[in-house]
Chains A and B, each alone.
Chain A
């Protein structure tokens, strides 16, 4: 973590604008406002504009993921970097042009403080009928003046199984009855559950479930959920459609296994944003995103992706010491 940045403690929620109906927000020296089409961000010496739909999808992930691992680039200019307890908010810090002329700007916050203002922002800036978690063809529009809200959608809890989905007392399976219909693009996915025969007394240990059916019923996109756990090894499968809203610059190696269909990943350098590669992943392909890149995925047909994370608490310390590897395997 870069040193010597003071923790910001000034936060402000301003009254709704007379014309747009949206509140504006302040965190440290960063100011946020939105109008019918755009989110506007300003900071000492700079300002930036992001289309409202793109900003809301990114903000929603940053909130839902608890700032996630490493850097969440909303776009090539604005984003956050997680230091697990503290968070940097930046403009231009991962942009080669801003850095080269010294126009980048960063402030540091307590994670819980910044999260609170982000949650208020995502709640106020989401209109009735719009769901920033949903694929664009499955939701209303982000545009326009303030018109109601959709707190039910923006306060979803990320699924985190303790051992495995479907075990007694753990995360339940999804069904029509529980409000999770099969997605239109997965209508052909077999919904049959595995045949399980349990001898008396082993009901908590002999268990299986249909992961692909579970994913076919996901009501969100680009939102990995923990489904099975081996110590700190977390299988976090997710369903993907359209684009990953953010360019994710993970601070650790992150594995992807494509379970169905196809995703194209755009890979850029984590620090500069320079293009490094494209990775085309088809069903059965498995690859590791290096720890020094940022990635953004594109999935035309809704697809199933297994995101494999290592949630070990030793990794942030290794990152701080510069001992975490950028590449998972050398051969």
Chain B
């Protein structure tokens, strides 16, 4: 048995820290917890938990089978939970007709797009998958899980900072 226990979180088991202000506004730190955000989200909502100019990190509650998405650039999915999330990938026959190639961020597609099966990746906790440009992807999760998406702000990105972030100082 390991002498040390590595502490991870889960969508139904997390403990948050916080900003202990000395001479500052806690809002400046845009502090939230990705598990808490996913736990309070509807399935497949992609809520921004980090934003740096146009780039975002989205926290997504994976539960059930998602719609198909596509994107004009690479994205990455990181499963933060110890519950399996499968990523299915299609090579689109005509990506330009579905997503403007100058656009940014993930786009939800209507129905099942035409394309060739590329394969799938089963993600458990800590596993990251490439969501490659020119493909369509969807997620399948039998139990709720928290997934982070590294991407650019797009039509699927939800911003609700005031709801998710710490706004008053934490007690020391």
Contacts and interface: CB of A to CB of B under 8 A. Distances in A.
B6 A255 contact: no
A286 B55 contact: no
Interface of B: 2-9, 14-24, 26-36, 49-53, 55, 57, 73-76, 78, 80, 87, 89, 91, 116-130, 132, 135, 146, 148, 150-152, 161-162, 165, 167, 170, 172
Given A186-B4, A228-B130, 20 more contacts: A163-B74, A167-B130, A184-B4, A185-B4, A188-B4, A206-B132, A207-B129, A208-B129, A210-B128, A230-B75, A231-B55, A233-B55, A233-B151, A259-B126, A276-B22, A276-B24, A280-B18, A284-B80, A286-B49, A288-B50
Contact of B31 (A192, A279, A308): A279
Contacts, number: 245
B33 A284 contact: yes
Interface range, A side: 35 or more
B121 A206 contact: yes
A194 interface: yes
A195 interface: yes
A212 B2 CA distance: 17
B19 A194 contact: no
Contact of B23 (A257, A275, A302): A275
Interface in A202-220: 202, 205-213, 216
A262 interface: yes
A230 B74 contact: yes
A279 B17 contact: yes
A301 B4 contact: yes
Interface in A270-293: 274-290
